[in-house]
Structure 1
Amino acid sequence: MSEVTMHRRNASSRVRADPLVAVLVLVAVAGVAGFGLGPSARDAQAVAFWLLLTAVHGCFAVVSAQVARTGPVANRQLWLWFTGAGAAFVVGDVGQLVLVARDPQAPAALVGAQFQYGFIAVGMVLLITGLFRHPLGEMTGSTRARLRLDAATVLAAATTFGLWLFEVPAGPRDAGWALGLAVSLLVMPGVFLVAIFAVLRLLRSGRTPFSRSSGILGGAAAILQAVLQTVPGSVYLDPRFTPWLLAGNVVASVLLALVARNQQRCGQHAVRPAGREQPRHYSVLPYAGMAAVWALTATVLLIGGLDAHAWVVAIGASVTTALVVGRQVNAFRHITELLHERDELTARLTRLAYHDALTGLANRGLFMRQLHEGLAAGAVTVFLVDLDDFKPVNDEFGHATGDQLLIEVARRLRNGIRAGDAVARLGGDEFAVLMTGLSLARGAEVVDELTAALHGTVRIGAAEVPLRASVGMAAGRHGEHDPDSLLHAADMAMYAVKEARRSLAGSDLR
């Protein structure tokens, strides 16, 4: 057995042997067994339930603070938000315990009072804020806008279901009632579904702050809590369902605490996910939410007609659809931008593939294609231009000056041709010009014009750089020449000019 394998097994066994994890699992099991399998009086249930939640939420807050202090720097901000959320949950639980101590038989003692609801809302807002503020790496403005629209769509869909199931609180319609109504509306499954959405986005991104197991536990906690939040308060007070609903809330809170503890243990033992999926750039959750809301709308209209609940659901469906449409418009705009960037990149790559980077002229490949097309259309004339004594220019003045001289030659060649003619840099100090419809006499004149244009000196910076070129000409037509042979003929003519010039220079010296 290899040392690496033994290290992995030892690390894994240490994670499994964690006593705090064992305690949390026992709390979940005890909650299910105690509430579900051993029903007791309501006051005893309330005391046990809120004591368990206080302990579990306190564990979540403390462990989150430890992860924020000792975990990776990139993730510390997220776990600070989680610490604040856990503290808010604990404050709400303690306030609820005070209420239970005063009146254990009150309905609010079991299902939660406005004070406790308010701190659940605060805690959930802190959790979601931390999830959405965690950096996902490089993100364009368009991608960030789509992420926000996706979250808003999920929230709108979940809120629609919550409003459909919502029971208006009893009591006088005063300011306290209005506050309780607002808090109850906020603590609906919407915030939990947004938490699910945020967890999924982080897990699918390239910079997830969770191990795979922590992400799965967090998603399970959010899903379970979202389902439990859809249950009306009257159902919680029904003795047939109360034990199981309380047990479910305990299990959901334990899962949340296990997320923090598992993340802490993974960090301590350097246990990492086995692999990383490629980040997905879309989510089906908003579309599923819209489809679910429209299915609910059809069901409500079919069963009860256009009543108050149907109007609420219809408005929710309209808002959800509008958000999805906005998301699609944003996506189409982004696709259009990507297509435009693709076209620009294609044009740039094509230019780089067929043009000389220094002078911007056509390169040898493009020139040969132009020559082939010209021969197919009729008679053409090729002029091959080679600079004389270019190497001494590089040696005396430097390669930067030599490059500037080549750029000047390219400019003069462009100015010396007609519209529709082609000029190219074949490589080094060798250029070529392609013209159509020239007589031999006119071709000879072009040779003289090009030679004159490339003769003399060029001022480059403070230097006077000599410029002289030899020009060879070859004419051909389709059926008699091919591009290679015609270019070779022009090359031979150019070298003949060079040799003649050298012979003349040699005779002058004698």
Structure 2
Amino acid sequence: MWRPLSRARRADPLIAALVALLVATHVGFGLGGFSTGSQVVAFWLLMIAVQASFTVSARRVATHLTRSGPEGAAGRAMWRMFALAGVVLVLGNVWQLGIVLRDPLSVDAAIGSDPQLASLVLAMALIVAGLLRYPMAEMRAAERFRMRIDVATVMAAATTFGLWVSDLPSGPRNAGWVLHTATMMLVQPGLFLVAVFAVVKIVLGGQSAFVRTAGLLSGTTAVLQAVLQAVPVPYYVAPATMPWLFAANVLASGLIAIAARVQERQVRAGARDATPGAARPYSLLPYGAMAAVWLLAVAVLARLGLDLRAWVVLGGSMTTTVLVVARQVAAFRHIAELLRERDELTAQLTEMAFHDALTTLANRGLFMQRLEEALAAGPATVFLIDLDDFKPVNDAYGHATGDGLLIEVGRRLRGCVRADDTVARLGGDEFAVLIRDVSDDRRLQVADDLAVALHGSVRVGAVEVPLSASIGMAIERHGGRDPDSLLHEADMAMYATKERRRNLLGSDFA
């Protein structure tokens, strides 16, 4: 793995050639000295070259993707659509080159003819379709809702900028003007808004379709291309701005070709075809979009006052702000839900840590903690209970019956004490009861109740199980002993009781 990855980092001849071509393009167009016709012909030849490079690299990426599963299949389908879009672009530009060679000084030669524009629209539709089909990472409903708000915020900001830079066509405001305006909006800013949506969906979807470098180059290209499409047509035919706009368009196409080549090399070298997005609690993208729209609003109001464009920008500012506020409200609700889940989990873990799983009684740890607290507060009494002949029950009836007996014992012990007393299962068939500062009569009453409750038989399922227990009691009146010594005294008393019963049974038998 390391060797092909190290080779992928070395200088690539095609990338070096593309970079050199872009540098030469900017130098050549920037220096001038060429006729307008020569610049137009050179521009379309350069566009064909870089778009052909993109097409070949995109096809190779689709061919070399070997990752299995839905993401791998979606990645291959996406790059195949990219390659098809590249073919469409190349064919459209070849057609355009034929028009340019016939009349390089026409307006259509500089800005593109109808067939070339149609090829651009079709290619962009294929690219957007490929991006939209790529799956997002697994999200919960709340995460998906917040992601949609973030996408809507960015799209509202992009729409605001698009409407601000767009120039409405001249002419009488009739049905033809409305149709022409709608077509212009759909073909240029509308189409690229859809492209922005697709890119933002990939960015915020938690699962990138590109390796990091290719993703950065593709995002830069999308932003640059959107800006170039918003430039009014007169600038493309003006001698002062036309060369720079040509160079910028070649740069945008060249960057996407370099991105495809980077993706191709990484995929062929064995890198992942998709870089999973890091799970983050928030994204800065919608906040940046809102800030950008408000900065635009301030600039427009300071320079132009409250005209129609200013109202458009203010409307966009308000929309993005409302969406960000909604995003914050959704985030606060999500945080509250997480806190509630945390509290529930904490309660469950506490229950598991301090209670017996079978009987739900307190376990040894909680009992010792309660005993220590009771001894610090005043007198306390501990009863230690051990079931007699519990192992024969397991042997004769099975462990399920033994578990049922333990559950019933726990229920009976709870019935012998008050709610503020502590009943615990210390382990196996050993139980303990803690009662705090009570009178001697109450203490003796609890002892009698325990003896009665743990004598006789218990029906567990379809069998009748005999029940008897040995009980030991220890009393601490002055708070001078520690919990272990008091529990040990109760343990000794319990074993003394058990021994007396055995002696009694032995003498009766004799």
Compared CA separation, residues 465 and 97, structure 1 to 2 (3 A): farther
Matched, 1:42 2:46: no
Quote how far apart the aligned CAs of 1:294 are: 1.0
Structure 2 contact 43–250 (Cα < 8 Å) conserved: yes
Quote how far apart the aligned CAs of 1:492 are: 1.7
Q: Which amino acid aligns with 1:360?
A: T
Q: Deviations over 1:469-490 (max 9, x none)?
A: 1111222235344322322222
Quote how far apart the aligned CAs of 1:176 are: 4.1
Query: How many residues align structurally?
Result: 499
Task: Give TM-score, length-normalised by structure 1.
Answer: 0.87
Matched, 1:68 2:62: yes
Structure 1 contact 164–313 (Cα < 8 Å) conserved: yes
Q: Which amino acid aligns with 2:22?
A: A
Quote how far apart the aligned CAs of 1:209 are: 3.4
Structure 1 contact 168–181 (Cα < 8 Å) conserved: no
Compared CA separation, residues 378 and 10, structure 1 to 2 (3 A): closer
Counterpart residue number, 2:47: 53
Q: Which amino acid aligns with 1:292?
A: A
Q: Distance in 1 between matches of 2:4 and 2:62?
A: 26
Counterpart residue number, 1:28: 22
Compared CA separation, residues 170 and 49, structure 1 to 2 (3 A): farther
Q: Secondary structure at the match of 2:282?
A: coil
Q: Which amino acid aligns with 2:39?
A: Q
Counterpart residue number, 2:469: 469
Compared CA separation, residues 238 and 347, structure 1 to 2 (3 A): same
Q: Distance in 1 between matches of 2:162 and 2:395?
A: 82
Structure 2 contact 188–229 (Cα < 8 Å) conserved: no
Q: Distance in 1 between matches of 2:428 and 2:287?
A: 59
Compared CA separation, residues 181 and 425, structure 1 to 2 (3 A): same
Quote how far apart the aligned CAs of 1:134 are: 3.0
Matched, 1:380 2:359: no
Matched, 1:185 2:179: no
Q: Distance in 2 between matches of 1:404 and 1:453?
A: 16
Q: Secondary structure at the match of 1:479?
A: coil
Compared CA separation, residues 156 and 123, structure 1 to 2 (3 A): farther
Q: Which amino acid aligns with 2:55?
A: A
Matched, 1:288 2:263: no
Quote how far apart the aligned CAs of 1:339 are: 1.0
Q: Secondary structure at the match of 1:331?
A: helix
Q: Distance in 2 between matches of 1:175 and 1:396?
A: 91
Counterpart residue number, 1:399: 399
Q: Secondary structure at the match of 2:137?
A: coil
Q: Secondary structure at the match of 2:384?
A: strand
Q: Which residues of 2 match residues 345-494 of structure 1 at below 5 A? A: 345-494=345-494
Q: Which residues of 2 match residues 47-446 of structure 1 at below 5 A? A: 47-71=41-65, 72-73=67-68, 74=72, 75-87=75-87, 89-90=89-90, 93=93, 96-97=96-97, 100=100, 104-112=104-112, 116-117=116-117, 120-121=120-121, 123-124=123-124, 126-131=126-131, 133-170=133-170, 173=177, 175-187=179-191, 190-191=193-194, 193-194=196-197, 197-198=200-201, 200-201=203-204, 205=206, 207-271=207-271, 278-446=278-446
Quote how far apart the aligned CAs of 1:283 are: 2.0
Structure 2 contact 55–82 (Cα < 8 Å) conserved: yes
Q: Deviations over 1:150-191 (max 9, x none)?
A: 222122212212221211234661634532233233145x45
Q: Secondary structure at the match of 2:465?
A: strand
Structure 1 contact 187–229 (Cα < 8 Å) conserved: no
Quote how far apart the aligned CAs of 1:357 are: 1.3
Q: Which moved more, 1:110-119 or 1:239-248?
A: 110-119
Q: Secondary structure at the match of 1:173?
A: helix
Q: Distance in 2 between matches of 1:9 and 1:48?
A: 37
Q: Which amino acid aligns with 1:140?
A: R
The CA RMSD over aligned residues, in Å, is 3.0
Q: Which moved more, 1:211-220 or 1:332-341?
A: 211-220
Q: Secondary structure at the match of 1:40?
A: coil
Structure 2 contact 208–277 (Cα < 8 Å) conserved: no
Quote how far apart the aligned CAs of 1:307 are: 0.7
Q: Which amino acid aligns with 1:285?
A: L
Q: Distance in 2 between matches of 1:208 and 1:162?
A: 26
Q: Distance in 2 between matches of 1:477 and 1:131?
A: 78
Quote how far apart the aligned CAs of 1:121 are: 4.9
Q: Secondary structure at the match of 2:167?
A: coil
Aligned-residue identity in percent: 52
Q: Distance in 2 between matches of 1:222 and 1:403?
A: 67
Structure 2 gap ranges (5+) = none
